[in-house]
Amino acid sequence: MSKFIASPATTLSGDLKVPGDKSISHRSIMLGSLSDGVTKVSGFLEGEDALSTLKAFQAMGVEIEREGDKVTIHGVGINGLKKPVGPLDLGNSGTSIRLMSGILAAQDFDCELIGDESLSKRPMGRVINPLRDMGAVIDSDEGRPPLKITGGQTLTGIHYDLPVASAQVKSCILLAGLYAQGNTCVTEPAPTRDHTERMLTGLGYEVRVINNQMCLTGGGALTATEIQVPSDISSAAFFMVAAAIAPKSDVTLLGVNINPTRTGVINILQLMGANLTLSNEREIGGELLADIRIQSSELQGINIPEEFVPLAIDEFPAVFIAASCAKGETVLTGARELRVKESDRIQVMADGLTILGIENEVLEDGIKIQGGAFKQPTAMIESHHDHRISMSFAIASLRCDYPIEINGVDNVMTSFPNFVELANSAGMSIIEV
């Protein structure tokens, strides 16, 4: 699979269940492996990124059984990991390499973390530097993978002020703090997803949260439990936008994670005038879930509040499609983080929108998008092997009069393996070539 051909469609309907949350799936493997006892996970995301984490911990001696979206992890305890026989290949997963760096910086064995071509270009200095401050010894390719981590170091807790709001960096430091002497505290400039803190607490490890600072004390233990992974709001976002822009739509997304550190996309779409409502709100395993109903909407361009940016950082490619279908101008600033994802998501989305006839202006830390009509008679989009770019342009077909070809869609498997099947079941027309 290397190309989507998304043909015009106008109707979207049905009750849809998107795959499990990727962030929580990663953390369930990492923290379940470090726990004492057997952790049972249901709703695990069967995407390549989460499976990269699973395979890496198997390579470090953790017995993990998987049957579909059910995973059983036989924890080895906080100090039970074993030296892998070779480098740990984390594929395309930035979450895996950044969070695991924190855990592996404290082990008594050497290890090497590698990834695919895309991951090998992504900056790791923002986790390497604080880990070195804690006493870790890490070599890299000028701040990029592969990362070579020297074992046998004694880590010391630090108080770290995040220069940029980043859940991955925060989590990396807190995970290293499990092994560090004394207290480790991270202060963030704006709220970011808090799945690490929630899961640590659920596994019996005290995390002290005061305003925008999270602290823990090294030397404790994790106790195995059962974890239910809710549907991923980042995956649900494509269908939220799709239903909002489709001329005829009525879609309900079932059991979606509405953790308050992740709901920026809901806030943004509601500000734009989306016909979006939440129901059946409940809490399972420390995470909040709800069913989300979206119907055809008359969207308006907005200035996106900067406080929503870290709460919607992964959903902006889809939001840009919504902005393209809105009346008036949408302006995003304060989102420099988008430039160092699987691709430069600001520039790559801007290039694709230009091909579709949408006026836009790239800013250093954002973009201006003038809502309009997708006018090109034919369109071929380069996704730069970024799964969220691929899926975002696929949903644009709901407002097109012509097919859209999207190249480099192989990495959709990393986060949403059944995207095409689910989209077509709801009324879209996407084929994989």
Q: Hey, what domains does the chain have and what are their CATH numbers?
A: 3-20+230-432 (3.65.10.10), 22-228 (3.65.10.10)
Residue 180 to residues 167, 172, 289, Cα–Cα distance (Å): 20, 12, 34
- Closest to 358 measured CA to CA, from 430, 276, 427, 301: 301
Tell me the C-alpha distance between 95 and 41, whole Å: 19
Tell me the C-alpha distance between 23 and 113, whole Å: 19
pLDDT at 341: 83
DSSP 8-state secondary structure symbol assigned to residue 231: B
Q: Own/partner pairs for 347-354, CB < 8 Å, 24+ apart?
A: 348/382, 348/383, 348/384, 348/386, 348/389, 349/316, 349/317, 349/320, 349/389, 349/392, 351/382, 352/381, 352/382, 352/383, 352/389, 352/393, 353/320, 353/324
pLDDT at 142: 93
Encode burial over 291-314: b for 16+ CB neighbours within 10 A, e otherwise. Answer: bbbbbbbebbbbebeeebbbbbbb
pLDDT at 343: 84
- Counting as low any pLDDT under 70, the low residues of the chain are 1, 377
Encode burial over 172-206: b for 16+ CB neighbours within 10 A, e otherwise. Answer: bbbbbbbbbeeebbbebebbbbbbbbbbbebbebe
Backbone angles phi, psi at 207, to 5 degrees: -120, 125
Residues 193, 117, 86, 47: is their CA dihedral positive or negative?
positive
Whether 194 and 172 have beta carbons less than 8 Å apart is answered as: no
243 Rama sector, left if φ>0, alpha if ψ -120 to 50, beta otherwise: alpha
15 Rama sector, left if φ>0, alpha if ψ -120 to 50, beta otherwise: beta
Backbone angles phi, psi at 168, to 5 degrees: -65, -45
Tell me the C-alpha distance between 397 and 429, whole Å: 8
Whether 173 and 131 have beta carbons less than 8 Å apart is answered as: yes
Tell me the C-alpha distance between 346 and 342, whole Å: 11
pLDDT at 342: 81
Tell me the C-alpha distance between 368 and 362, whole Å: 6
Is residue 146 reached through a cis peptide bond, with omega within 30 degrees of 0 on the bond before it?
yes
Backbone angles phi, psi at 365, to 5 degrees: -125, 25
Of 21, 49, 194, 314, the catalytic one is 314
Residue 414 to residues 21, 365, 405, Cα–Cα distance (Å): 12, 26, 20
Return all residues near 393 (Cβ < 8 A) that are at least 6 apart.
Answer: 4, 6, 321, 352, 381, 383, 404, 406
Backbone angles phi, psi at 10, to 5 degrees: -125, -15
Residues 117, 118, 122, 128: is their CA dihedral positive or negative?
negative
What DSSP letter does each residue of 183-214 carry, written as one string? EEEEE-SS----HHHHHHHHTT---EEETTEE
Q: How many residues does this entry show for the chain?
A: 433
Tell me the C-alpha distance between 294 and 273, whole Å: 11
Q: What is the pTM of this model?
A: 0.86
pLDDT at 377: 67
Q: DSSP 3-state assignment of 3?
A: strand
Whether 222 and 78 have beta carbons less than 8 Å apart is answered as: yes
Q: Does 401 qualify as catalytic in the annotation?
A: no
